[in-house]
Homo-oligomer: A and B are copies of this chain.
Amino acid sequence: MTFPVIGMVGGGQLARMTHEAGIPLGVKFKLLSDTPTDSAAQVVGDVVVGDYRDLETLRSFAQGCDVITFDHEHVPMEHLRALEADGIAVRPGSRALVHAQDKGVMRARLDAIGAPCPRHRIVADPADVARFAAEGDGFPVVLKTVRGGYDGKGVWVVRDEAEAAEPFRAGVPVLAEEKVPFVRELAANVVRSPHGQAVAYPVVESIQVNGVCDTVIAPAPDLDPELSTHAQQLALRIAEELDVTGHLAVELFEVQRPDGPAVLVNELAMRPHNSGHWTQDGAVTSQFANHVRAVLDLPLGDPRPRARWTVMANVLGGDYPDMYGAYLHCMARDPGLKIHMYGKDVKPGRKVGHVNTYGDDLADVRERASHAAGYLRGTITE
Contact = CB atoms under 8 A, between A and B. Distances in A.
B327 A298 contact: yes
A353 B26 contact: yes
A227 interface: no
A2 B325 contact: yes
Given A3-B324, A339-B24, A343-B26, A301 B42 contact: no
Interface string A299-329: 1111000100000000000000111110110
A322 B43 contact: no
Contact of A43 (B23, B293, B324, B338): B23
A244 interface: no
B43 A19 contact: yes
Contacts of A345: 1
Interface in A7-50: 16-17, 19-20, 23-26, 28-29, 41-45, 47
A136 interface: no
A219 to B, nearest CB: 18
B25 A341 contact: yes
Residue among A298, A321, A353 with most chain B CB within 10 A: A298
B1 A29 contact: no
Contacts of A1: 321-324, 345-346
A284 interface: yes
A309 to B, nearest CB: 14
Nearest to A343: B26
A323 B17 CA distance: 24
Residue among A42, A325, A342 with most chain B CB within 10 A: A42
Contact of A42 (B28, B41, B328, B331): B28
Given A25-B339, A26-B353, 17 more contacts: A1-B322, A1-B323, A3-B322, A3-B324, A4-B324, A19-B23, A19-B43, A20-B24, A24-B338, A24-B340, A26-B323, A26-B339, A28-B42, A41-B45, A285-B336, A299-B327, A300-B331
